[in-house]
Amino acid sequence: METSFGLSQLGQLSMNAKDLDRATAFYRDVLGVRFLFGVPKMSFFDLAGIRLMLALPEGAEHDHPGSVLYFRVNDLDRAHATLVDRGVAFEGPPHLIADMGDHELWMAFFRDSEANLLALMSERPKA
């Protein structure tokens, strides 16, 4: 058995969509994620080298909310305000998640057009 093998890099994530056109518009136009291409039942985006696929569920066993996507941002307050201006309803204001010693981890949670939970995250240096 090969013992040095280990998975270490994601190539693609998939999020379910009930309405693919609506979901594509949300990720492309509201969140500003770079659209790559679309095919019937799927749209693809670039998340800094990781491909995000929005797809219509293939069957009942696949028809469920996706994993939480955490979008790293440098300026959480600015990103939050920009998305609020674009009509995104957050579940609460940006808030401290953890004191990491030399920095703090802050997040703000919201839902996409398909009710999947998403988050903005920022690692803020301590003053």
* pLDDT in the model for residue 2: 59
Q: How far apart are CA 103 and CA 96, in angstroms?
A: 11
Q: What is the pTM of this model?
A: 0.84
**Mean pLDDT in order along the chain per 10 residues (127 residues):** 74 93 98 97 96 90 83 94 96 95 94 93 91
pLDDT score at 41: 94
Is CATH 3.10.180.10 what the domain over 12-125 is classified as, yes or no?
A: yes
| Domain boundaries, given as residue ranges, for the chain | 12-125
Q: What is the pLDDT of residue 34?
A: 98
pLDDT at 58: 85
**Residue 42: which residues within 8 A CB-CB, separation 6 or more?**
20, 53, 54, 55, 56
CB 103 within 8 A of CB 124: yes
pLDDT for 86 equals 96
Q: With contact defined as beta carbons under 8 Å apart, do 119 and 111 qualify?
A: no
